[in-house]
Amino acid sequence: MMIKRRRSEIGFDSAIENEFYQLGFKGWTVQREPAVLKAGQYAFIPDFSLERNGTRIYVEIIGFWTPEYLKHKIEKLNLLQEKDSMILLVNRSLACTGSEFQAENLLFYDKKIPHLEIIKILRRYEEKRQSDEIAKLKGTEISFDSDLNVINLDETAKRYGVSLEALKEVVKGQNTPGYSLLGDQLVSKQVLETIQDELIGVKKHDDSLKIFERYGIKAYSQALSMLGYRAKWSGLDPENAEIVKI
């Protein structure tokens, strides 16, 4: 059983580790000392993991160490099977060039965590995972519940074990007769036609939103535009907003 500790209960070996934990990584969840990995005859506990949509990336911060400790640390890191899913952050003042590490994702830092560089690496992992999922889905016949007027694609994505983003990319390229893709949902054209009839004579923006909410449609701005309307604002008060035909 995993026990989630509060930030105040988590101990750090250095200020740089504390800084890393406080950063946000665009949807990636940070966990401190997440697992015990095998490195040859040694056990290795990475400083952090970053997790999103089933993908786990480990992070090790290598700071101020003696030459002997650093040599042993590099040896263990190079023995890990998880090297391809590891980000190494190495203090630039250490007596190493980086060539000693058998690591694809190696970043040097001075006094601050190279946040944007880490985000770029994570984006590559996201793109690789999405590409693999799209390839998987293209070889699969995706079935939807045709009895539903509004299909929530996040539920379909979970059923196929892929991300919502990958599923939407595949759906965009497929023919889904009788449905339109609106946000994270497939909405039947029959429902859209019914809503279009109900919008006749409606002026207030809030009243139009209630119609979409009644049918469970979340991307109502996109739906309004598809049906030939736009919002007209008078000041900042949303109650004064109206919808007008384009």
- Helices 189-198 and 205-214 sit at what angle, rounded to 10 degrees? 150
Tokens read off for 122: 């994570």
- Confidence category of residue 26, pLDDT binned at 50, 70, 90: confident
Q: Is the pLDDT of residue 102 over 90?
A: no
Q: Is the pLDDT of residue 2 over 70?
A: no
- Confidence category of residue 236, pLDDT binned at 50, 70, 90: confident
Q: For the chain, what is the mean pLDDT?
A: 87
Q: Is the pLDDT of residue 4 over 80?
A: no
Letter string b/e over residues 187-220, b meaning 16 or more CB atoms within 10 A of that residue's CB: bbeebbeebeeebeeeeebeebbebbeebebbbb
Mean of pLDDT values over 221-226? 94
Rounded CA-CA distance 86/234 in Å is 52
According to the model, what pLDDT value does residue 5 have? 46
- Confidence category of residue 87, pLDDT binned at 50, 70, 90: very high
What CA–CA distances, in Å, run from 140 to 160, 161, 171?
A: 9, 12, 12
Rounded CA-CA distance 118/114 in Å is 6
According to the model, what pLDDT value does residue 10 have? 57
Strand partners for 232: 242
According to the model, what pLDDT value does residue 118 have? 96
For residue 209, the one-letter residue type is L
What CA–CA distances, in Å, run from 160 to 54, 120, 133?
A: 13, 27, 10
According to the model, what pLDDT value does residue 11 have? 62
Instruction: Tell me the per-residue pLDDT of 34-43, one tens digit each, with 9 for 90 and over.
Output: 999 999 898 9
Instruction: Tell me the per-residue pLDDT of 166-205, one tens digit each, with 9 for 90 and over.
Output: 999 999 888 788 899 999 999 999 999 999 999 999 999 9
Picking from 35, 43, 36, 6, the residue whose alpha carbon sits closest to that of residue 21 is: 6
According to the model, what pLDDT value does residue 98 have? 73
According to the model, what pLDDT value does residue 1 have? 35
- Note the pTM of the prediction, 2 decimals: 0.72
